[in-house]
């Protein structure tokens, strides 16, 4: 036998002896007890299945499942009590909802839902436990190894946060110009609910050379990077960028920020950054929506399809925003490019220290847009808009060769050119919540207001704190969703209610999600004090269009 033939035979043998790495989350009261009985009964199942005992299958969060896949698991089982027999009443029903959501998300991302399974196994079903384990092992063996590009987490970089790096960051963001006037602290929404927090103290530490601990500082993750401090700073210190830079250094030192949803959103972004699967992100496109593969206008949908799946239990209908945007463009005679190949812009990874993944997403998205032939890119998400306009241009080190417009800017162009007409007899009183990424970060204050000034019958009543003084929704990049932030959100919703408007409009899907969450269940004030509906800008405009 020739050397090449020997190598080929060895490779074939290796392929057929693939042993999958399988994680099985087992409920303590039923399926784990079933595993115990299977062992006592000498029932065989593969040793490559790692059993993780949990108190209830309902406590297996979606983020655990994606994290297992990201970490190299080839298959994941979640097992629990039979429906109706849960030791915590309804934990297994919650598990069913969570697993189904993750399966839908995996299908959308192109990973495929067949690597994740949910099974009900009681304490007495030792045989079923062994059968399920053997069958799932055979199934994953047939599927083959996890197709995700496993990116091993780098060990902490001891050079991160060095005096040279911190000093460079201070110079780039003009932090040396801080004169400790305290204006930042006086307007900071975090400082208003946390007396121990003060933006200038972090700057002072940096100026004084306390760099050895600065990148590990807790408060760099507490800041919501809304930018109100920079807007009020007489010396225009770029505090959000200063904080973002410190977070990059902190992440390189091994810090893992605490994010809401257990970091689920960040996991989906990393999966997109490190894979080339065929996605299924256009299920929201209905028969009334006219879209194209190439053209002058590219509609960047961002994470609306993923958020539709992740927040399905709240019925937020996030893809209604995308459908509304396409409806507006179609009414104006525009058939936008909407691409199944588009990926997340990476905003949340960028603000949690993962620049490497952001650059991968940037390279991919810019390539998709350029191949479409688009000259204008339209965004319904303020964070996507900011990421392209500021971060992509900085990372690419060149001006991008297409216009970038928030949907409000684009709508105003269409109105001014006579391409959009609105219903007669409208009568609506609205107030507007300013997304910090759109306003303070990018300077777009007037466009959403101008739209409704152009629509007869819609009146805008302003809140007390607007424009540079507008209060942030508080959960930038899915961080700091805590009691302090909820207090700030409740204050904002009370402020909106005091205007006597019929509805609060916002021009950022994430502001909509976070503010809705703050008043959805129990609130620390009388319910009527915050009882005002929320609506996205794009949906409001689409509703007002002439039939």
User: Would you list the DSSP string of 109-143?
Assistant: HTS-GGGEEEEE--TT-HHHHHHHHHHHHHHHHHH
CATH architecture of 261-414: 3-Layer(aba) Sandwich (3.40)
Residues 91 and 57: beta-carbon distance below 8 Å: yes
pLDDT digits (tens, 9 = 90+) for 439-486: 999 999 999 999 999 999 999 999 999 999 898 888 888 888 888 888
CATH architecture of 163-252: Orthogonal Bundle (1.10)
**DSSP label at residue 224:** -
DSSP string, 445-501: -SHHHHHHHSSTTEEE---SS-GGGPPP-S-GGGB--SHHHHHHHHHHHHHHHTTT-
CATH top class, domain 422-544: alpha beta
Taking 50 as the threshold, does the pLDDT of residue 244 lie above it? yes
| % of the chain residues with pLDDT over 70 | 93
At residue 12, the pLDDT reads 42
Give CB contacts under 8 A, 24+ apart, made by 362-368: 362/391, 362/392, 362/395, 362/396, 364/273, 365/300, 365/392, 366/392, 366/396, 366/400, 368/339, 368/341, 368/342, 368/343
The least confident of 5-9, 406-410, 429-433 is 5-9
At residue 184, the pLDDT reads 87
For residue 313, the Cα-to-chain-centroid distance in whole angstroms is 16
pLDDT digits (tens, 9 = 90+) for 293-349: 999 999 999 999 999 999 988 888 999 999 999 999 999 999 999 999 999 999 999
Residues 246 and 190: beta-carbon distance below 8 Å: no
- CA dist 459 and 136 (Å) reads 59
As a whole number, mean pLDDT of residues 195-221 equals: 77
At residue 1, the pLDDT reads 44
Taking 80 as the threshold, does the pLDDT of residue 209 lie above it? no
- Residue bearing the bigger pLDDT, 385 or 13: 385
The least confident of 69-73, 81-85, 227-231, 482-486 is 482-486
At residue 22, the pLDDT reads 96
- Can you name the CATH fold of 19-143? Rossmann fold (3.40.50)
pLDDT digits (tens, 9 = 90+) for 261-307: 888 999 999 999 998 899 999 999 999 999 999 999 999 999 999 99
At residue 180, the pLDDT reads 82
Q: What is the dihedral of CA 406, 410, 413, 414, to 10 degrees?
A: -160
| Domain residue spans of the chain | 19-143, 163-252, 261-414, 422-544
As a whole number, mean pLDDT of residues 406-416 equals: 97
Answer whether 19-143 and 163-252 agree in fold.
Answer: no
Give this prediction's pTM.
0.90
At residue 183, the pLDDT reads 86
Taking 90 as the threshold, does the pLDDT of residue 522 lie above it? no
Give the pLDDT band of residue 256 (cuts 50, 70, 90).
confident
At residue 169, the pLDDT reads 87
| % of the chain residues with pLDDT over 90 | 66
At residue 436, the pLDDT reads 94
Residue written as token pair 């205007």: 499
């Amino acid at each position: 036998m020739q050397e090449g033939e020997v190598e080929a035979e060895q490779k074939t043998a290796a392929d057929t002896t693939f042993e999958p790495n399988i994680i099985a989350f087992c409920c303590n009261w039923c399926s784990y007890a079933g595993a115990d009985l299977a062992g006592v009964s000498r029932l065989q199942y593969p040793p490559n299945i790692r059993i993780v005992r949990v108190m209830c299958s309902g406590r297996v969060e979606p983020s655990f499942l994606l994290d297992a896949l990201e970490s190299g698991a080839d298959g994941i089982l979640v097992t629990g009590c039979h429906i109706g027999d849960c030791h915590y009443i309804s934990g297994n029903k919650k598990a069913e909802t969570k697993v189904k959501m993750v399966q839908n998300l995996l299908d959308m991302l192109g990973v495929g839902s067949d690597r994740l399974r949910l099974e009900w196994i009681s304490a007495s079903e030792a045989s079923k436990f062994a059968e399920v384990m053997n069958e799932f092992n055979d199934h994953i063996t047939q599927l083959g190894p996890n197709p995700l590009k496993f990116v091993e987490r780098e060990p902490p970089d001891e050079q991160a946060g060095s005096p040279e790096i911190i000093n460079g960051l201070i110079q780039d963001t003009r932090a040396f110009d801080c004169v400790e006037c305290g204006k930042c602290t006086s307007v900071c929404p975090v400082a208003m609910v946390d007396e121990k927090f003060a933006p200038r103290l972090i700057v002072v530490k940096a100026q004084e050379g306390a760099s050895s601990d600065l990148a590990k500082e807790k408060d760099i993750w507490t800041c919501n990077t809304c930018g109100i401090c920079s807007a009020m700073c007489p010396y225009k210190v770029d505090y959000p960028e200063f904080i973002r830079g410190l977070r990059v250094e902190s992440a390189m030192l091994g810090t893992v920020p605490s994010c809401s949803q257990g970091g689920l959103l960040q996991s989906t972004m990393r999966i997109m950054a490190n894979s080339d699967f065929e996605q299924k992100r256009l299920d929201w496109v209905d028969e009334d929506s006219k879209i194209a593969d190439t053209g002058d206008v590219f509609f960047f949908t961002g994470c609306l399809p993923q958020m539709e799946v992740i927040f399905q239990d709240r019925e937020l209908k996030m893809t209604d925003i995308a459908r509304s945007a396409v409806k507006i463009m179609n009414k104006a005679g525009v058939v936008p490019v909407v691409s199944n190949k588009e990926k997340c812009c990476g905003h949340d990874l960028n603000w949690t220290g993962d620049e490497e993944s952001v650059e991968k997403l940037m390279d991919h998205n810019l390539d998709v847009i350029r191949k479409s032939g688009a000259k204008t890119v339209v965004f319904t998400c303020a964070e996507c808009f900011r990421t392209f306009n500021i971060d992509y241009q900085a990372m690419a080190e060149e001006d991008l060769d297409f216009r970038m417009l928030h949907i409000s800017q684009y709508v105003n162009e269409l109105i001014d050119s006579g391409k959009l007409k609105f219903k007669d007899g409208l009568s609506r009183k609205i107030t507007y919540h300013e997304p910090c990424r759109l306003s303070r970060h990018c300077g777009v204050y007037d466009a959403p207001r101008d739209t409704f000034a152009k629509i007869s019958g819609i009146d805008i009543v302003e809140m007390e704190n607007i424009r540079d003084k507008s209060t942030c929704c508080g959960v930038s990049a899915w961080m700091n969703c805590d009691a302090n932030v909820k207090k700030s959100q409740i204050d904002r919703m009370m402020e909106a209610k005091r205007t006597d408007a019929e509805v609060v409009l916002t021009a950022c899907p994430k502001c909509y999600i976070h503010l809705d969450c703050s008043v959805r269940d129990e609130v620390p004030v009388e319910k009527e004090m915050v009882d005002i509906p929320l609506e996205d800008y794009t949906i409001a405009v689409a509703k007002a269009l002439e039939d």
